[in-house]
Structure 1
């Protein structure tokens, strides 16, 4: 008869063998899906229309509503996330009564090679959908096992928001051909709940620090203030917070606070507790004597720091296309501000070394260090004139102009390693 230590050793070896077999079955040599292009301006326009159609903020608290979500828009957004966060690709398909999600994710160890080809089948229930099956490579897991593991895993995750209350908002999810219909009860504090859940205590503390510093900077002085004045002060503080601080998170927090400030957005939408934080006095913040450049620059920096440069680029281009159709007109100057801001946001979070180098630069930077010359760049062009002069987004003249903007941005001090 085997002793207890022998049994434990035997069970450990068996578990290790099962994990190795599962790994061999899950990892494949070839990708099932090939990466697709990142979000284009037209796709962003479709996602924007989808959000506008289903904006619940006009609803009364407690009212029941339905959101109709198209397959194409959700598929584009999901594929962007897979591409940006995991260098992979995804595909989303809705059918009557079920949904299928496919994804190809390269292993995070490039030298080993290999891919995880994943397929998740979701089935309708009387309320939230459940996983019918999960396939990873040649490994197939039945739904009851996956659902049990998922529920156990979620219950163990410590978050600031009450996820049970958020989940209870959703009453039913129905799948049909190329669309999903979500029936829910609207709660007015949803945005604040999600904001609290997505930010750690450390991140909220960093935002409070830079919000307080910004309030000090704007308490006195002229109505108009240069962007570099605020950047100098906030990033001097970031550099002074020392080696114990994570420079990437510090940079991201400073950019978030500045972007919310110049666009006159309330941080309380993201963090309810911030309503009690020091309030900055509103000033007109300018870059090259223009406050629209400041907004372009910082929103693009925020998108790059939080979501990645492909999205920031596409959002900037989308706005210029919309402006050319009845707004202020297509502007290569605005695109230059977008690209410069995106470059700054990229550098801010690229690595600890890059983040600290950027802190030192922005602590003393002047405008020519962060923003290219734009006086000679065409702007205020209606759509018809833009197409006539530059051949649209595929024209050689447009491509040449964008190459010139990229050259100018690459020459900035903020772009140098």
Structure 2
């Protein structure tokens, strides 16, 4: 008995010693670079949601751009992976060397792997844990095992929507069809983006939206504000039963965006009778576009960050000026109101609860203020004649005025 006990103690000591030797007291690399400008530029040029479906597009990234996007992604998933301290990428010929810093007992463990972007499944050609190389056979066994998990399968499904990836030390080139990418996101987003608990919350609010919409059959212009208040009342009831106000606000925003999108919602709905219900258009200030702009921008801000949401909203209006209904500052104001609401309403528990109460006691102007005499319907030439570009003083002055009006709302006082 004593012999087994001493062997166990020796094994624990050896593992602790190995753990000490292969970890560091400080993070092995910095991960705090500012990716805001990079993300704005890349989003504006390559957002697949807004690109025509039939074309093959090519996105070319400098190594610094690709690393900025990678680190931005890490900050967005860090809530689900609290031990991940950051990532670093080095771009080689036909492969990428990735390093991840993991926190372990107050120290930092570096895991590095070299990945070759082959067509179906990326190939890992080398793996190290700390300074210790892992045999290729063990690596392949681990990858085969990992591919059985649903999250990994979903990531691989999204990877397979990309037509080609080419890596050199100078650049990363990605070729894709917008239709395939959007379709892949459409199919995998529920499991990939949301935990089972989040899916349950989102399903709760989607069900509430469908129920509310079914009661508006005889209403000519169903009110988005009334819907918003109705959902907030449901959220308050959940919070009174011990739920997180932040989580409820996040789920409510997500459900509103999903309902008003083309994404399928049937899998979220426990009540099968609601799955065939037609989705209604909701109006705010007697306009049908404001609710969609508000909801989409709020949801994108939650999951991709306010800078990406802001850029997508601006780019959509510039595209409308060139190919659609024209540039509208009313739509842009709804975008910015959605970003502000998502940021504020999910800031912390106290703020989230306070916002819920204010929604119950205020009017639709608190959500998206009535802004008089804003330019809209401008063609590309009209926009350039009046504002030159979004960096011009005149444009920035008007956007600042819109932001100040939004922040003066009762919701944020």
Fold agreement, TM-score > 0.5: yes
Relative distance call for 1:310 and 1:383 in structure 2 (3 A) is: same
Indicate if the aligned counterparts of 1:174 and 1:180 stay in contact, CA closer than 8 A: yes
Deviation string 1:82-110 (CA, Å, 9 cap, x unpaired) is 45555967657473x4234467x79799x
1:225 match: secondary structure: coil
Q: Note the C-alpha offset of 1:303.
A: 1.1
Indicate if the aligned counterparts of 1:300 and 1:338 stay in contact, CA closer than 8 A: yes
Relative distance call for 1:51 and 1:405 in structure 2 (3 A) is: closer
- Unaligned regions of 5+ residues in structure 1, if any? 57-66
Q: Separation in 1 of the partners of 2:356 and 2:49?
A: 38
Matched, 1:72 2:61: yes
Relative distance call for 1:293 and 1:193 in structure 2 (3 A) is: closer
Deviation string 1:308-340 (CA, Å, 9 cap, x unpaired) is 212211111111111121322222222211111
Deviation string 1:7-55 (CA, Å, 9 cap, x unpaired) is 2112212211222222217733x62783333455552243235995887
320, 342, 355: which one pairs with 2:352? Answer: 355
Matched, 1:365 2:343: no
Residue 252 of structure 2: aligned partner: 254
Aligned 1:395-410 pairs, distance under 5 A? 395-410=392-407
Q: Separation in 2 of the partners of 1:37 and 1:27?
A: 23
RMSD over equivalenced CA pairs, Å: 4.4
Residue 121 of structure 2: aligned partner: 128
Aligned 1:5-20 pairs, distance under 5 A? 5-20=5-20
TM-score normalised over the length of structure 2: 0.76
TM-score normalised over the length of structure 1: 0.75
Indicate if the aligned counterparts of 2:87 and 2:98 stay in contact, CA closer than 8 A: no
Q: Note the C-alpha offset of 1:176.
A: 5.4
Relative distance call for 1:415 and 1:279 in structure 2 (3 A) is: farther
Indicate if the aligned counterparts of 1:107 and 1:116 stay in contact, CA closer than 8 A: yes
Q: Separation in 2 of the partners of 1:171 and 1:284?
A: 33
Q: Separation in 2 of the partners of 1:276 and 1:253?
A: 22
**How many residues are aligned here?**
394
Relative distance call for 1:140 and 1:172 in structure 2 (3 A) is: farther
Relative distance call for 1:165 and 1:310 in structure 2 (3 A) is: closer
Indicate if the aligned counterparts of 1:336 and 1:405 stay in contact, CA closer than 8 A: yes
Relative distance call for 1:329 and 1:233 in structure 2 (3 A) is: same
Matched, 1:24 2:16: no
Residue 82 of structure 2: aligned partner: none
